Amino acid sequence: MDDLDQKILAALAADSSTSTSRLGRRFKVARSTVQARIERMERSGVIAGYTVKLGQAMSVRRVRATVLIGAESRAQAAIVARLKAMPEVEALHTTMGRMAMIVQIAADSTEMLDEVLDRIGQVPGITETDSMIHLSTKFDRAT
């Protein structure tokens, strides 16, 4: 990846809906050059996909929680598959230590959050959970 690829990637990471024409004007190259670079980065796996980032109006209404999960080691792959199928699960990380995984979830209400936590607790192979409901976000470097 050269400097132009890095610039295109950074621009798309900030706003994936930016048109190739706009990127071409910004970086003083042809639109077709930008398009070819993006397609090459997609084929090589540098760009894995595009997504929607919820705005403040939508994310403020969601109830978020972090769930620490203890699991039987032989069941971890099946647990990951089951949790991946739950749309409320935003991210899952494996860990070292007493707990096997950290799961980030979001729901539209505390009632829905409670139901999601119940479904997580019923997944075969999960031995324990410890849930922490997020109250407010003081800062988030990922956004």
Q: What is the pLDDT along the chain (143 residues), one digit of tens a residue?
A: 899 999 998 888 878 889 999 999 999 999 999 999 999 999 999 998 887 766 655 555 689 999 999 999 999 999 999 999 999 999 999 999 999 999 999 998 999 999 999 999 999 999 999 999 999 888 877 65
* CB within 8 Å of 7: residues ≥ 6 apart: 27
- Provide CATH 1.10.10.10 ranges for the chain: 3-44
Predicted pLDDT of residue 139: 83
Predicted pLDDT of residue 78: 97
Angle, helices 31-44/3-14, rounded to nearest 10 degrees:
80
CA-based max dimension of the chain: 56
* In contact, 131 and 65? CB cutoff 8 Å: yes
> What is the CATH topology of the domain spanning 3-44?
Arc Repressor Mutant, subunit A (1.10.10)
Instruction: Indicate the pTM of the whole model.
Output: 0.62
Q: What is the CATH number of domain 56-133?
A: 3.30.70.920
Long-range CB contacts (within 8 A, 24+) of 111-117: 112/63, 112/88, 113/63, 113/65, 113/88, 116/86, 116/88, 116/89, 117/65, 117/67
Predicted pLDDT of residue 60: 56
What is the rounded distance in angstroms from the CA atom of residue 65 to the CA atom of residue 91? 11
What is the rounded distance in angstroms from the CA atom of residue 4 to the CA atom of residue 25? 13
Predicted pLDDT of residue 13: 83
- Provide CATH 3.30.70.920 ranges for the chain: 56-133
